[in-house]
Amino acid sequence: MNKLSAKSFLKRRSTWIASMFACFTFLLLAVEVYNIPVSLLISNLMFMLVGLGLIVTLSAAVGWLMAVMRKRRK
């Protein structure tokens, strides 16, 4: 790995660490200051992950269907 890519990697890693720390701080603030229960945060996370899974699944199904339809035409 040359110096330029090593610096780039370290910069990206430190940015990622800083963003994860900021997210953790925000969630801790929500729990401590605004009295939002952790169970509510976790349930919202699960709803979001299920929705994301549905979107990815439907997109994959549409892509597969388009590939099958194109093969039929040839």
Encode pLDDT of 2-54 as tens digits. 666 767 877 788 899 999 999 999 988 888 888 989 899 999 999 999 999 99
Q: Tell me if 24 sits within 8 A of 32, measured CB to CB.
A: no
Q: For the chain, where are the alpha helices, taking DSSP H only?
A: 3-32, 38-73
pTM listed for this prediction? 0.63
Q: What's the token pair of residue 32?
A: 């401590």
Q: Tell me if 1 sits within 8 A of 9, measured CB to CB.
A: yes
Report how far residue 11's alpha carbon sits from residue 45's, in angstroms, rounded to the nearest whole number.
29
